[in-house]
């Protein structure tokens, strides 16, 4: 039986900075704790649902709801990562032997996995029960707390693979959502948009007729012939292009101007609807871009997080691999302070 688990898309942002470790395998957990606290406050902002303004009425489409359902467990995993970070720090600071610390770590991971199964907030972890039991035993039997953290590697690696797999699945579904939203938009605005385009085309034709009439009035006979040939309404005002009078040309001009004014009025009456249509299209593009950027950042961050966790277990004396505050306030930024919702 395969054990499955969900972890938030943002888990990389919680612990990727880890800390600077001492080569003696004695670790200073303060940077780890500080980074976790900083990123917790930022992650709360990042995990807020996307504030649909123009497209909210379309969020019930099946394609969007399907992906939303698959993404929600990733968000719920955020608290689990914060608890994990706090638990690692708390166990380290406890006045316990290394063996007791590792027992606590193994118990925490085991309980967390069991709760994930019970709550059905799980994804493919690709570690069966026998493998999980082996990992927990290795943690309990580790010589030092750092060794215990390192022994958790198989579970952590499986979590990382599960996250990357789910990120790819969601990213692959984004075009389908965009098409679904666009389908609903076009359904509501198709007739109005066609009318608008027809009015703009007619306006262009009338403007061209007015230009030809102007050129004809200053002596270009060929333009007058073309005007009558291309605009049938002109024939009632100009029966003969060779004998056209000034009065006939004045009446034709007045007719064109009146039609242009009427077309302009009709076009402006559609301005509000046009603005709504453009706003919905713009919001759809912006949402797609934000989700794509979020996935890109998450994929990169989870890779860094995995390396940080390996460094944590190995006690490698390295500085934080990334600027945690920079990610929280910069990389995430305004454009990515949203999730799939």
Q: Which of 270, 279, 271, 63 is nearest to 185 (CA)?
A: 279
How many whole angstroms separate alpha carbon 237 and alpha carbon 251? 7
Q: Which residue has the higher pLDDT, 276 or 110?
A: 276
Q: pLDDT confidence of 214, banded at 50, 70, 90?
A: very high
Give backbone dihedrals phi and psi of 164, rounded to 5 degrees, phi first: -65, -35
Q: Which of 51, 339, 286, 64 is nearest to 179 (CA)?
A: 64
Q: pLDDT confidence of 75, banded at 50, 70, 90?
A: low
Residue 304: per-residue pLDDT: 67
Q: Which of 257, 216, 210 is nearest to 231 (CA)?
A: 210
Residues of the chain with pLDDT > 70: what percent?
Answer: 70
Q: Taking residues 261-282, what's their average pLDDT?
A: 92
Q: Which of 88, 1, 10 is nearest to 309 (CA)?
A: 88
Q: Which of 286, 36, 302 is nearest to 161 (CA)?
A: 302
Residue 318, pLDDT above cutoff 90: no
Q: pLDDT confidence of 24, banded at 50, 70, 90?
A: very low
Residues of the chain with pLDDT > 90: what percent?
Answer: 40
Residue 188: per-residue pLDDT: 93
Residue 21: per-residue pLDDT: 35
Residue 183: per-residue pLDDT: 94
**C-alpha to C-alpha distances, 74 to 7, 134, 294, nearest whole angstrom:** 5, 26, 13
Q: pLDDT confidence of 340, banded at 50, 70, 90?
A: very low
Residue 126: per-residue pLDDT: 54
Q: Which residues, 6 or more positions from 171, have their beta carbon under 8 angstroms from its beta carbon?
A: 292, 295
Q: Taking residues 96-112, what's their average pLDDT?
A: 90
| CB of 174 closer than 8 Å to CB of 63 | no
Residue 69: per-residue pLDDT: 84
Residue 73: per-residue pLDDT: 67
Q: Taking residues 89-102, what's their average pLDDT?
A: 89
Q: pLDDT confidence of 81, banded at 50, 70, 90?
A: low
Residue 210, pLDDT above cutoff 90: yes
Q: pLDDT confidence of 338, banded at 50, 70, 90?
A: very low
Residue 316: per-residue pLDDT: 66
Residue 49: per-residue pLDDT: 73
Q: pLDDT confidence of 11, banded at 50, 70, 90?
A: very low
**pLDDT tens by residue, 217-250:** 998 999 999 999 999 999 999 999 988 999 999 9
**DSSP conformational letter for 332:** S
**pLDDT tens by residue, 140-156:** 999 999 899 889 888 87
Residue 59: per-residue pLDDT: 94
Q: Which of 327, 287, 320 is nearest to 51 (CA)?
A: 287
| CB of 80 closer than 8 Å to CB of 8 | yes
């Amino acid at each position: 039986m395969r054990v499955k688990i969900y972890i938030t898309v943002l888990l990389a942002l919680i612990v990727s900075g880890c800390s600077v470790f001492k080569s003696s395998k004695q670790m200073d957990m303060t940077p780890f704790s500080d980074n976790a606290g900083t990123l917790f406050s930022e992650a709360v902002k990042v995990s807020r649902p996307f504030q649909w303004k123009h497209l909210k009425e379309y969020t019930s489409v099946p394609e969007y709801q399907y992906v939303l359902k698959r993404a929600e467990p990733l968000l719920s995993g955020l608290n689990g990562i914060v608890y994990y970070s706090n638990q690692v720090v708390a166990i380290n600071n406890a006045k316990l032997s290394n063996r007791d610390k590792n027992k606590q770590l193994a118990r925490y991971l085991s309980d967390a996995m069991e709760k994930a199964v019970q709550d059905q907030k799980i994804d493919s972890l690709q570690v069966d029960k026998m493998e999980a039991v082996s990992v927990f035993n290795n943690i309990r039997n580790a010589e030092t707390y750092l060794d215990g953290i390192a022994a958790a590697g198989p579970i952590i690696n499986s979590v990382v693979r599960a996250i990357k797999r789910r990120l790819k699945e969601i990213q692959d579904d984004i075009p389908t959502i965009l098409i679904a939203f666009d389908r609903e938009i076009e359904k509501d605005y198709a007739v109005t948009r066609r009318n608008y385009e027809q009015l703009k085309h007619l306006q262009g034709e009338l403007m061209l007729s007015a230009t030809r009439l102007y050129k004809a009035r200053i002596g270009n006979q060929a333009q007058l012939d073309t005007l009558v040939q291309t605009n049938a309404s002109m024939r009632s005002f100009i029966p003969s292009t060779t004998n056209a009078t000034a009065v006939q040309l004045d009446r034709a001009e007045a007719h064109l101007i009146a039609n242009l004014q009427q077309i302009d009025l009709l076009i402006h009456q559609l301005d509000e609807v046009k603005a709504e249509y453009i706003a919905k299209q713009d919001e759809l593009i912006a949402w797609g871009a934000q989700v794509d950027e979020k996935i890109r950042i998450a994929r990169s961050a989870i890779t860094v997080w995995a390396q940080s966790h390996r460094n944590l277990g190995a006690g490698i004396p390295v500085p934080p691999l990334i600027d945690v505050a920079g990610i929280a306030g910069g990389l995430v930024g305004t454009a990515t302070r949203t999730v799939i919702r």
